């Protein structure tokens, strides 16, 4: 790391900082400029030394501490030469194929779920999404069907040949959710719920880690590092929009995160344009944009009758819209050298 | 609530929305304008009807649903005519007195903690802060001393006549933390960890609920409503800065939240200028500003030797700075009709 | 518009507001709910009544004024059934063809400009970009070559069969820039420089209006309305990233603005991924994403030798990268039903 | 400055960067770490070398360029040991006294202006504010009375013994506004209108430079540097809120900017809580907070009848509220060692 000393710092302050750094195992190179003194500290990987930076920052005479390498290890691009492919019972996320995950925001009933599952499967989706435990901003909103919802997801998946992704919110329910779902989803509000991250890190289940709505890329990767360092490297990152001042969309979908992550990490990256925009009419264009700039998959809310949806009907597309979207997306995938295989219709 | 219909919506769509609203118990008043049709729906408190809004939003022809009353109940100003005073074993938060909570970011050792506790107590603080379980952005950073840290806090509090506030991060540790601490702190990253909110809501311990770094006031109050609706109304809100584009400060301390909350809720409001700014030199001025605009207390990081702090030394003030600050703060408190009683020195 | 009255407002206050609205020409429909009184005011287009809202907002008893129609007129989708095609001397922006605008951030020399112009023309660009007057955050940075830069642009455009786009920053230079450029660019810092907007509005030159880095879509469209209402409807909107908390990219490119604008306005929309990301390696993926979700053109910084660029070398792609990008983009354009015709190579 | 080279950069790339830096006059110190190579470049003030950074950033192998000194000179704290006092015809801004600037958002009529001027003068304000040229988001909103408004301001100021501050928006009107006003205000939308900054920099009139609603402190100080480097050092900075995601307030007033600026610059700093919050009830508390953390003055919207204001009535306080506020503010000023002298009432 690099330490900028304050203008007018004393030689003793420089000495104290240097000594402290040497104690931590660094090689020290101070540069005495006309304006400022700079101390270069090298020789120790920075993910081992986050504390160090924090401590050095508090020393007298220190103006700023600058990292020169990444504070994460297992999830860093450098750690693995090749891109990770997360294998979900044969469905491979991170390879050439664009993987579609589709389904209702919330599991409401067998009829609603099965109808959707059948339709998205027929249109080419490989994974069924659906909320059984729902994080709601208000305590008075519907919190999901819970266990019966999980059971319906499992049934639907078996009946229609899909894998299941669903959100897990409670550390004490991780085991239960693992029993019914193929992929655990950690939601945006829980991206820095470290207790939950460690708990899902102790399973070997694939995890979709959604970006916190105010998370920097580095913080997001550090959250993934919590899971990876607990032993679970089956991590898929999901961009779902960040919070900005713009009121027209529910969030601002940060698609530049996709190519950025593709150079920072070896993990697959998918996109949720439903949460990311909050508007049904933007879902189609944003799925295409996501595929065009390198997404490995998409998480899309589909509802057989959005007018009757309990939650988030405004951002769900209909089955008909999904069916129309799939071949269009397949063309974009093909234009950028990826595949989105569509079932052959009889 | 008010429903704006899209330009060009059909009479059938207006009828469907109206019927749906009537089913929910609303009285309906449609207004057919030259440009737009508006449907006014009244007669049901909105915290009972959040789902309703969500469902209506998804109906065809609906452009926007606008709330006209608050989506929370127990924490709303209207629910209680007088401001709530949270009584922490005799220390009253929300009354005339400004309550100072001070101590190290992290409990590091008996010596560090006791030295700080003694000093802040002597200077007029009533509550000792200190982290035993620490949320860290990186899995490789110090995560706190845990239980031994809690034990030290309890000892220090008894020895120096202080109450204790400390963060609780794990639902499975709420009971443990309650045993050692007088106030549970829910941190910024957990403001929407609903599992944890309900768990602390099931205790009767006072809770300091920090603002999520990207939380709107309404979302913050809904998080408080989670705790209150679970049965615990001993809630204190703590402004600790929001995330903006400005890099000079760690966060942007939103002091206008104080008078805003004072009109929206009856709950006491305190401010954490250490987290809020991340810079030692800004702590003093911002404590004064917070008191001047109506804060009921302050949460300040104090370290006997910030140069040696494990965490957040850069934003901790020294014992000497704290001693100097207290009488200055007392003058500001007095200027705005509040009290900050200082111990009489021998 | 809709007026929400405060809880507990008096009948006199409701009367005052109603009277005031009637004076302004509105039809009034008050709804007396159990919680709140709401006044619906219809019958006057809102772009004629912005003042009204502002005045009503200040009346006693008023809690909030809500617009129910757009505050702009000429640029609204409703104003023109078909999408506007801006014709720049035969190059049509807003039609089926994706229009590429490429060139250096800053005009530095004849050699640099001509080399770039020749290359981008050969690769299929139709418009040459290049800064002659440069807005710089610091007064000590290079401010552009000025008039000689404009002259070089004109020469290059004639020699290589391109049109020219360049930024105009000074109201007193609008005439001069019009003489040399085919399209006037209003930069992000000047999006709300109303003096300049009116001045370019008084010409009939095509204008690319960049989004202010903190501008909401509505504010951006109102800025366009300044130009349109001054008589110039040859407006092209350019998304170039908004300011957020994310430090990895220079700005956060808001691609969802493209389909959003396509439903709000009839004006063509282009994207600047160079400014929008600030990173050369993200330019390619983001151009593809922009085309995939409906952009009508792109503004890309290309430099023959980015290592020697005076400004913004880090976000400029090389001529080789541009040549490689064009056929890739053409495939994406084709996948979404657009065209990007490439010159036939000998 | 410090140059971080990319992992795996070649020795030739390090050499190229070093040579380029030497050509620019820097002394070079490369540090070859196990992970990264860092080049320290010292010996040249950075405000002379902004271009340099930009050019170095574009070189192959460069990951990041970090500034180690401030990019501005005249406005930097280091440039002047003592705080600047801007003298406005005897009214001194930046000294011990808190200077109150008060008046209507917009000059509407002689009656409105004179009534306000008389009242605020009687209550202790020294400077009259009022808009004659108004920047409006919509072209259809009232744009101000223009010259007659300026004339009324001048008359009112002479009659009631006040100085005048008013906004200047057009480079071609700077001379005119100078004739009528004692202080030129550059508004938030024009903070980076460099043409206007240079124009007011060429006068010797005191200038209040409002913070751009998305401006970092450094960018704001660079905007001030534009004015100072053009020869005018009579600059007062005005915090007026930044744009964030919080919808409750019109902007988020960043009061931590005050003590931050007090360490970064010698220029006086004032606060506009009317624009900063957009809500009348927050104005009082925020003025007190501003004074408590070091503001040198306040810019407050006061209207004799906010219910009838043309613009921004919702954020204007009444004359009665202003009269009540002044002695309260004087007490806070006194508590922090400042003065706010109140006129002696007969």
pLDDT tens digits for B42-101?
777 766 666 777 788 878 888 888 777 788 999 999 899 899 999 999 999 999 999 999
CA dist A201 and C177 (Å) reads 60
Q: What are phi and psi of B285, to 5 degrees?
A: -55, -40
Q: Among A227-231, A328-332, B169-173, D77-81, which stretch is predicted with the lowest mean pLDDT?
A: D77-81
Give the model's pLDDT for residue B315.
87
Of the candidates D217, D328, D336, which has its C-beta nearest B248's C-beta?
D217
Q: Which of A34, A40, A46 would you mutate first to test chain D, the one with the most D CBs within 10 A?
A: A40
pLDDT per position as a tens digit, D75-117: 999 899 899 999 999 999 999 999 999 999 999 999 999 999 9
Kindly list the residues from chain A whose CB atom is less than 8 angstroms away from the CB atom of residue B211.
none
Query: Average pLDDT, stretch C172-181?
Result: 98
Q: Which of C1, C3, C31, C77 would you mutate first to test chain B, the one with the most B CBs within 10 A?
A: C31
Q: What are phi and psi of A110, to 5 degrees?
A: -60, -45
* Among B184, B55, B162, CA closest to B101: B162
Give first-to-last CA distance, chain A, whole Å. Answer: 62
Query: Average pLDDT, stretch C10-20?
Result: 89
Of the candidates D252, D258, D259, which has its C-beta nearest B256's C-beta?
D252
Q: Which residues contact C8 (CB under 8 A, 6 or more apart)?
A: none
- State yes or no: pLDDT of B308 exceeds 90: no
Contact C40 B27 (CB under 8 A): no
Domain boundaries, chain D: 2-66, 77-335
Nearest CA of chain A to the CA of C22: how many Å? 30
Give the model's pLDDT for residue C142.
85
Contact D16 C307 (CB under 8 A): yes
Give the model's pLDDT for residue C6.
82
- Average pLDDT value for chain B: 92
Contact C252 A244 (CB under 8 A): yes
3-state secondary structure of D140: coil
What is the four-CA torsion angle of A63, A65, A68, A73, rounded to 10 degrees? -170
CA dist B203 and A77 (Å) reads 45
CA dist A324 and C106 (Å) reads 44
What is the length of chain C? Answer: 346
Search chain B and give the residue with CA nearest C43: B34
Contact D2 A38 (CB under 8 A): yes
Give the model's pLDDT for residue D42.
79
Contact D251, B229 (CB under 8 A): no
Which has more pLDDT, A43 or D14?
D14
Count the helices and strands in chain C (H runs, E runs): 11, 14
Q: What are phi and psi of D342, to 5 degrees?
A: -105, 145
Token pair 């719920």 is found at A193
Residue by residue, DSSP assigns B28-43 as EEEEE-SS-EEEEEES
Q: Among A39-53, C313-327, D6-20, which stretch is predicted with the lowest mean pLDDT?
A: A39-53
Kindly list the residues from chain C whose CB atom is less than 8 angstroms away from the CB atom of residue B7.
69, 78
Which has more pLDDT, C35 or D171?
D171
Which ipTM was obtained for this model? 0.93
CA dist D346 and D344 (Å) reads 6
Contact D314, D72 (CB under 8 A): no
- State yes or no: pLDDT of A346 exceeds 70: no
Give first-to-last CA distance, chain D, whole Å. Answer: 62
Give the model's pLDDT for residue A334.
98
Number of neighbouring beta carbons within 10 Å of residue C345: 6
| Residue D46: alpha-carbon gap to chain centroid | 23
Give the model's pLDDT for residue D82.
92
- % helix, strand, coil for chain C, step of 5: 40, 20, 40
Q: Which residues contact B270 (CB under 8 A, 6 or more apart)?
A: B93, B99, B101, B208, B236, B237, B238, B239, B295, B296, B297, B298, B299
Give the model's pLDDT for residue B47.
67
Q: Which of D215, D256, D275 would you mutate first to test chain B, the one with the most B CBs within 10 A?
A: D256
3-state secondary structure of D208: strand
Contact B260, B271 (CB under 8 A): no
Nearest CA of chain B to the CA of A335: how many Å? 34
Q: Among C259-273, D19-33, D225-239, which stretch is predicted with the lowest mean pLDDT?
A: D19-33
Give the model's pLDDT for residue B236.
98
Of the candidates C57, C135, C219, which has its C-beta nearest D314's C-beta?
C57
3-state secondary structure of A128: strand
Tell me if the domain spanning B77-335 has CATH number 3.90.1010.20: no
- State yes or no: pLDDT of B289 exceeds 70: yes
CA dist D124 and D117 (Å) reads 11
Give the model's pLDDT for residue D248.
93
Q: Which of B71, B211, B255, B291 would you mutate first to test chain D, the one with the most D CBs within 10 A?
A: B255
Which has more pLDDT, B69 or B171?
B171
Give the model's pLDDT for residue C9.
86
Kindly list the residues from chain C whose CB atom is less than 8 angstroms away from the CB atom of residue B243.
245
CA dist C39 and C282 (Å) reads 50
Q: What are phi and psi of B130, to 5 degrees?
A: 175, 135
pTM of the model: 0.94
CA dist C47 and C52 (Å) reads 10
Q: Which residues contact B17 (CB under 8 A, 6 or more apart)?
A: B3, B5, B39, B56, B59, B61, B62
Q: Which of residues 228-257 of A touch B (CB under 8 A)?
A: 229-230, 243
Token pair 């913050």 is found at B220
- State yes or no: pLDDT of D346 exceeds 60: no
* Among D223, C78, D251, D167, CA closest to B255: D251
CA dist C194 and A197 (Å) reads 50
- State yes or no: pLDDT of D227 exceeds 90: yes
Q: Among A233-247, B208-222, C20-34, C237-251, which stretch is predicted with the lowest mean pLDDT?
A: C20-34
Q: What are phi and psi of C71, to 5 degrees?
A: -85, 5
- State yes or no: pLDDT of C346 exceeds 70: no
Q: What are phi and psi of B52, to 5 degrees?
A: -50, -50
Token pair 């009432």 is found at D345
Token pair 């910030």 is found at B306
pLDDT per position as a tens digit, A220-260: 999 999 999 999 999 999 999 999 999 999 999 999 999 99
Q: Among A59-63, D10-14, D164-168, which stretch is predicted with the lowest mean pLDDT?
A: A59-63
Angle at A329 between CA A325 and CA A330, to 5 degrees: 120
Q: Which residues contact A23 (CB under 8 A, 6 or more apart)?
A: none
Q: Which of residues 127-186 of A touch C (CB under 8 A)?
A: none
Q: Which CATH number fits domain A2-66: 3.30.70.1140, 3.20.20.70, 1.10.287.70, 3.40.50.2300?
A: 3.30.70.1140
| Element (DSSP H or E) covering residue D175 | helix D174-180
* For helices C280-292 and A280-292, angle between their N-to-C axes, nearest 10 degrees: 140
* Among D88, D90, D117, CA closest to D102: D117
Contact C117, C101 (CB under 8 A): no
Contact B142 A51 (CB under 8 A): yes
State how far the alpha carbon of B321 is from the alpha carbons of A128, B248, B302, in Å. 58, 22, 9
Residue by residue, DSSP assigns B162-182 as -EEEEE---GGGHHHHHHH-S
CA dist B37 and C68 (Å) reads 9
Q: Chains with 3 or more CB pairs closer than 8 angstroms to A?
A: B, C, D
- Average pLDDT value for chain A: 92
- State yes or no: pLDDT of B32 exceeds 90: no
| pLDDT confidence bin for A319, thresholds 50/70/90 | very high
Of the candidates B245, B285, B334, which has its C-beta nearest D293's C-beta?
B285
pLDDT per position as a tens digit, A33-88: 766 788 888 777 666 666 777 788 878 888 888 777 788 999 999 899 899 999 99
Q: Among A313-322, B61-70, B285-294, which stretch is predicted with the lowest mean pLDDT?
A: B61-70
Number of neighbouring beta carbons within 10 Å of residue B95: 16
Search chain D and give the residue with CA nearest C57: D314
Token pair 């499967």 is found at A121
Contact C68 B38 (CB under 8 A): yes
* Among A244, A281, A200, D106, CA closest to C58: D106
Q: What are phi and psi of A100, to 5 degrees?
A: -95, 130
* Among B327, B311, B277, B342, CA closest to B104: B311
**B175 burial level (CB within 10 Å; 0-12, 13-18, 19+):** exposed
Looking at chain D, the whole-number percentage of residues with pLDDT higher than 90 is 72
Q: How do A99-103 and D235-239 pair as beta strands?
A: unpaired
Question: Tokens standing for A50?
Answer: 């986050």
Give the model's pLDDT for residue A34.
65
| pLDDT confidence bin for B140, thresholds 50/70/90 | confident
Looking at chain C, the whole-number percentage of residues with pLDDT higher than 70 is 97
* Among C265, C211, C227, C232, CA closest to C83: C265
Q: Which of residues 208-227 of D touch C (CB under 8 A)?
A: 213-214, 219, 222, 225-226
């Amino acid at each position: 790391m690099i330490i900028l000393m304050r203008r007018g710092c004393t030689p003793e302050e420089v000495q104290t900082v240097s000594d402290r750094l040497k104690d931590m195992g660094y090689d020290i190179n101070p540069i005495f400029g006309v304006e400022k003194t700079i101390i270069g500290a090298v020789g120790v990987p920075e993910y081992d030394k986050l504390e160090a930076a924090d401590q050095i920052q508090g020393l007298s005479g220190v103006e700023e501490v600058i990292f020169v390498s990444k504070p994460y290890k297992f999830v860093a691009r450098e750690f693995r030469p090749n891109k990770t492919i997360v294998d979900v019972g044969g469905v491979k996320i991170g390879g050439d194929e664009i993987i579609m995950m589709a389904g209702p925001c919330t599991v409401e009933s067998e009829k609603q779920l099965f109808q959707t599952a059948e339709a998205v499967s027929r249109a080419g989706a490989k994974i069924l999404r659906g909320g059984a435990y729902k994080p709601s901003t208000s305590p008075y909103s519907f919190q999901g069907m819970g266990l019966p919802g999980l059971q319906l997801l499992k049934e639907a998946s078996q009946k229609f040949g899909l894998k299941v992704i669903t959100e897990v919110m409670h550390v004490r329910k991780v085991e239960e959710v693992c029993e019914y779902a193929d992929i655990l989803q950690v939601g945006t509000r829980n991206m820095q719920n470290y207790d939950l991250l460690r708990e899902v890190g102790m399973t070997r289940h694939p995890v979709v880690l959604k970006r916190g709505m105010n998370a920097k890329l580095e913080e997001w990767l550090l959250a993934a590092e919590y899971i990876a360092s607990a032993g679970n490297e089956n991590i898929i990152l999901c961009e779902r929009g960040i919070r900005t001042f713009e009121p027209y969309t529910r969030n601002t979908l940060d698609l530049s995160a996709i190519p950025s992550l593709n150079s920072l990490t070896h993990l697959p990256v998918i996109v949720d344009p439903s949460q990311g925009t909050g508007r049904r009419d933007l879902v189609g264009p944003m799925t295409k944009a996501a595929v065009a700039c390198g997404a490995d998959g998409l998480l899309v809310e589909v509802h057989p009758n959005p007018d009757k949806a309990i939650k988030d009907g405004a951002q769900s597309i209909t089955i008909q819209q999904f069916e129309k979207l799939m071949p269009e997306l397949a063309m974009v995938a093909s234009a950028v050298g990826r595949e989105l295989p569509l079932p052959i219709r009889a």
